[in-house]
Amino acid sequence: ATTLGNSNSVPSTDTWNGKGYCAELNTKFVGIGVVGKLAAGNLFTGNYVRTDGTNGILHFGRPFTGRPTKLKGHWKCKVEKISHSSSEFAHLKGQPDTCVVYVALADWNDQYEIRTNPNNRQLFNKNDEHVIAYGTIESAKTIANWQDFEITLEYRATNRKPKYILIVASASKYGDYFTGGDGTTLWVDDFSLEWDY
């Protein structure tokens, strides 16, 4: 988005408790006329590495060795109908977009590289053998007022130690495929990890 215009992931003072800032993540079509791409507003633990044409290369995850049981936070969203899609998700056009937040613990040896270019695409797979625990929430309906959320991490292995934590929030679930609704917006605030043991 920032290649062709202003950032679509910005701070906002519209917070759940009226203090500080939250993250406002906007899905928008970026370009001139019909030439351009849909960019899903997103936030993730990791690094933006570089832009490959109009595609992104990211490194997912931050070093982390704890074993939390939950991710808590606050969210609201404005969901639009899917207006733009890649060819493999053309059947979703006209259906409601889906906002998503997910968390994963993994024992990758390094950060996980994400590539959105269809020619050498590599995206996060929750079923990757290195993913130790995973949890998610989604909404395909507008949530007009701030709500608390709680994501329970489902552990697949308790005898392996995490090396990385990945937290992702995206206004459009299929944003990696440049699929979503122009104008869909997700607000997130005040994340915390919980240990219930």
Q: What is the mean pLDDT of each run of 10 residues along the chain (197 residues)?
A: 66 97 95 74 93 85 97 98 94 97 98 92 96 98 98 96 98 94 98 94
Nearest to 20 by CA among 168, 189, 197: 189
The whole-number pLDDT of residue 133 equals: 98
Nearest to 104 by CA among 130, 131, 127, 125: 131
Residues near 46 by beta carbon (within 8 Å), at least 6 away in sequence: 58, 59, 60, 61, 62, 111, 166
The whole-number pLDDT of residue 4 equals: 47
The whole-number pLDDT of residue 1 equals: 41
Nearest to 1 by CA among 47, 36, 52, 34: 36
The whole-number pLDDT of residue 31 equals: 67
The whole-number pLDDT of residue 30 equals: 81
The Cβ of residue 182 has, within 10 Å, a number of other Cβ atoms equal to 18
Residue 120 CA to residue 122 CA, distance in Å, equals 7
Cβ burial of 19 (10 Å; 0-12, 13-18, 19+) is: exposed
- Enter the DSSP assignment of 53: T
Token digits of residue 10: 């910005």
